[in-house]
Amino acid sequence: MLFDTHTHINDEAFDADFPDMLNRAEEAGVTQMVVVGVDRPTIERVFPIIDQHKYIYGAIGWNPEDAIDMTEDDFQLIQRNLTHPGIVALGEIGLDYHWDKSPKSVQHEVFRRQIRLAKKAGLPLIIHNREATEDTWRILKEEHAESIGGVMHCYSDDWDWAQKFIDLNFYISFGGPVTFKNAQLQRDTATMVPLDRLLIETDCPFLSPQPFRGKRNEPARVRLVAEKVAELKGLSLEEMAKITTENARRCFRIHENG
C-alpha cells in the first residue's frame, strides 16, 4: 500500500491513457494519491478526478511561478472549493526564485495570503520551494504555519534546513531525484529525516526516477522512490510503504475524512 503524496495526473500528459495509468499504479501497489492543481485550468481538472475515485484526494493552490497572474477571482475559486470533502490540502504554494516571471514581492504576498486561507480552512499546506529556502522558512514562521503544518514537496535541501521545517510541523517528501546519481544531498538528508516525518511522491509527469529519468513520470513509479528511501533507511519496501502511508494519512488528516 503506497501513497503518492504529489501527482499532477490532471495534466494533459495523461489524457491519452488515464485509465491505463491508474491500472499501472494499482498493479504497483499504489492505493492512494493526491492530485494537485496549481492554476485555474489544473484546479478545475482536480474535481472530476476526486469525485470519481474514492482514494484519490485533491489539493488546490496557486503556484509561485505564476503569482503575478493570480486574480481576485482565482483566489475566490480556491477559497470556495476548499470545503469540498475530497480536498485535503492547500497547495502547492510557496516561492520560486529560479524563474524570473513573478517578482519576489508579489510571490511573498500571494504566499502569505494563501497560508492565511489554509489556516482559516484548517488545511495543511503543500510547499513548493525552489532556490528560496530562507525566505520560505521565514514566511512560514512569521505566518505561524506550524498550526496547520504540511509537506515540503520534492525536498532538495540539506538536513539542517529539513530540521527547521520539521520544527514547524512539516513533513519532508522525496521524489524521483533521490534516485539520481548526482543527488547525494537528497540521499544524505533522507537518511537523517525521522521515520515519522517522511513522505514519498512522484510529482508526475515530472522528475521520473531512475531508470526512467527524462521520460514521463506516473504514480506507479513512486514504488521506485520507496525502494530507494527504504534502502537508505535499512528497511524493507513493505515497512517503508506502511510508514509513509500512515504519515500521509496523518498529515492530510484523512482518518478524519474517511
Q: Rounded distance, CA 90 to CA 118, Å?
A: 6
Q: Rounded distance, CA 49 to CA 65, Å?
A: 25
Residues listed for the chain: 258
Burial 158-195 (b: 16+ CB within 10 A, else e): ebebbebbbebbbbbbbbbbbbeeebeebbebbeebee
The pTM (predicted TM-score) of the whole model is 0.97
Query: What pLDDT, on the 0 to 100 scale, is given for residue 255?
Result: 79
φ/ψ of 128, rounded to 5, equals -100, 125
What string of pLDDT tens digits covers the 258 residues of the chain?
999 999 999 999 999 999 999 999 999 999 999 999 999 999 999 999 999 999 999 999 999 999 999 999 999 999 999 999 999 999 999 999 998 899 999 999 999 999 999 999 999 999 999 999 999 999 999 999 999 999 999 999 999 999 999 999 999 999 999 999 999 999 999 999 999 999 999 999 999 999 999 999 999 999 999 999 999 999 999 999 999 999 999 999 997 444
Query: Which residue, chain included where needed, has cell 526564485?
Result: 97
Q: Rounded distance, CA 132 to CA 129, Å?
A: 6
Question: Mind listing the domains of the chain with CATH numbers?
Answer: 2-257 (3.20.20.140)
C-alpha cell at 40: 485555474
